[in-house]
Structure 1
Amino acid sequence: MPGIGTASELAPTGYAHHIQAHGLTVRRGRRAAVDGIDLNLGTGVHGLLGPNGAGKTTLIRTLATVLHPHSGDLELLGSARRSRGELRELRRRLGYLPQAFGHYRRFTVREFVEYMAWLKEVPRRRTADAVQHAIDRVDLTGRADDRMGSLSGGMLRRAGIAQAIVNDPDILLLDEPTVGLDPAQRMEFRALLRDIGAQSCVLVSTHLVEDVGAACAGVVLMDEGSTVFAGHIDHLRVAGTDADPGDSDFERGYSALLRRHREGKVGARG
């Protein structure tokens, strides 16, 4: 796409690539849900956009080491090796919030986050402080001793975010994290993302283009398993015209990039 650089080309000097993928392909059955994508992401907050079925969740799960690539190269935190010991060490440095996460309803919020800290091998001497800090950051301090089964959808989502950040991850992967959050909570969450992104690589999959525009410096747009665009958020903002669908510059840019990508595929087939 002329005039639009890759994430690596737009990165400032010294930008560390926590996530590097080349030709990454992940199949779900016979279909390539992620189809030969290239990706270079470093410190900062990156939005992952795309329509339903674009491959966003499959990509997030692959980066979280839940799924394994079928082909291509993937480096996380500078390593492509995946022995059992290396995976264990890598997972200590990852934070992951899936769309639906399992939990014991009878656990309190504090017990849930403590349990996840134990799974991530947070040192025992640091666990209590790490758990409290994570709970405070998602504004659940007053509900820390409430049972998980008593929480509203938005509070449950915030508890999920707390477990994802309890180990101060170098890579934080969030799949639809703002589902159930009210507008004020979404604004607080954006501020939290920017704070975490100052030192870590954060990738946020969402349908809410405005959240990406408000919180992210970089954006990856996917469609049908392929990368449509990867670059600075400002390129998304100026990519559309008044004729493109959307209520904001970011939404119109999203619509325009998808339209051009699909028109190009039709033209290539013709």
Structure 2
Amino acid sequence: MHAAETAPTLHPWLVHAKELRVRAGRHPAVDGLDLTLTAGVQGVLGPNGAGKTTLMRALSTVVKPASGSLTLLGAQVDGRADLREVRRKLGYLPQQFGFYPRFTVREFVAYMAWLKEMPKTAIPDAVQRAIDRVGLTTKADAKMKTLSGGMLRRAGIAQAIVNDPELLLLDEPTVGLDPEQRLDFRDLLRDLGADSCVMVSTHLVEDVVAACTDVILMNEGRLLFQGTPDDLIARGGQGDAGDSPAERGYSALLRQHRSNA
């Protein structure tokens, strides 16, 4: 059963896109996408150039749609000038995020909480909780410039969740994480998805199967598949490429799409 069928929410859908088109430069990176999502962990899969990152940037309100409609958290955002109220309820980790190297982890996460216009009195506790949840408690007062790649990624996740967002967008969040950290991250995703809509863009099919309630597969800017991990697995067969049932389902769907193109 899909998370959308079981999880309560304040809005009919936390994300609703209809005929959504978004450009990356002159290229239509998202091309006529229809998508509805609510609480749960949504794994976004697809080959390079599928439009995953552009979709995440549109949902985070970083880029504006070229056409179609987009509603986030009950508010229609396409073409809207004032997005502050929606952005307060978002969390976003891009593939590459900027930070001040001399900031400590605590200062960095607190600064991002301030940018999200969190109440001043709530910030210290929220920052500590976010740092604890990503396993950086002992590094809270370390300078950002001293962190390893995996630790930087976890600091990025901490800033994305500090405001307890209703919609959390994580673009390739497991880059640089070691196997043990990836297992911890899966547990965190399950916890976050209980009350929020979490979208995780990744190339790691096994992470999606292990941690996500639903799977979204994109190619060439279009939605090819939306269903549960079990639905994805069921699409594959022994003759399909891949080292696991989920990977075989993934490759079977792409092969079918390309053969029909």
**TM-score, length of structure 2 as denominator length:** 0.95
How far the C-alpha of 1:29 sits from its partner, in A, is: 3.1
The answer as to 2:177 corresponding to 1:181 is yes
Q: Which amino acid aligns with 2:66?
A: H
Structure 2, unmatched stretches of 5+, are none
Give the deviation of 1:230 after TM superposition: 1.2
Q: How far off its partner does 1:78 sit?
A: 1.0
Selected match of 1:12 from 6, 24, 41:
6
* Counterpart position of 1:151: 147
Specify the alignment match of 1:63 in structure 2: 59
Runs (4 or more) in structure 1 with deviation over 6 Å come to none
Q: Which moved more, 1:140-149 or 1:223-232?
A: 223-232
Q: 2:102 aligns with which of 97, 102, 106?
A: 106
Q: Using the alignment, how far apart are the partners of 2:97 and 2:212 within structure 1? A: 24
Please say if residues 8 and 39 of structure 2, whose CA atoms lie closer than 8 Å, have aligned partners that are also in contact.
no
Q: Deviations 1:67-115 (Å, cap 9, x if unpaired)? A: 1000111000011046444x00100000000000000000000000000
Give secondary structure in 2 for the equivalent of 1:11. helix
Superposition deviation, residue 28 in structure 1: 2.2
The answer to whether residue 217 in structure 2 is matched with residue 221 in structure 1 is yes
**Number of aligned residue pairs:** 258
**1:181-221 alpha-carbon deviations (Å, 9 max, x no partner):** 00000000000000000000000000000000000010110
Task: Out of 204-213 and 233-242, give the one that drifted further.
Answer: 233-242
Matches of residues 11-90 of structure 1 in structure 2 within 5 Å? 11-12=5-6, 16-81=12-77, 83-85=80-82, 87-90=83-86
- The residue that corresponds to 1:96 in the other structure is 92
Could you tell me which residue of structure 2 aligns to residue 210 of structure 1? 206
More displaced stretch, 13-22 vs 163-172: 13-22
- Give the letter for the 1:12 counterpart: T
Out of 242, 245, 257, the residue aligned to residue 241 of structure 2 is: 245
Is this contact kept in 1: 2:28–2:221, CA < 8 A? yes
SS at match of 2:6: coil
* Structure 2 partner of 1:131: 127
Per-residue deviation, 1:31: 2.0
Report the equivalent of 2:195: 199
Q: Which moved more, 1:183-192 or 1:22-31?
A: 22-31
Q: CA RMSD in A?
A: 1.6
Following the alignment from structure 1 to structure 2, what is the Cα–Cα distance between the partners of residues 84 and 188? 38
Letter of the structure 1 residue corresponding to residue 200 of structure 2: V
Contiguous gaps of at least 5 residues in structure 1: 266-270
Query: In the alignment, is the contact (CA less than 8 A) between 2:7 and 2:40 conserved in 1?
Result: no
**CA separation of 1:120/1:13 partners in 2, compared to 1, >3 Å: closer, same or farther?**
closer
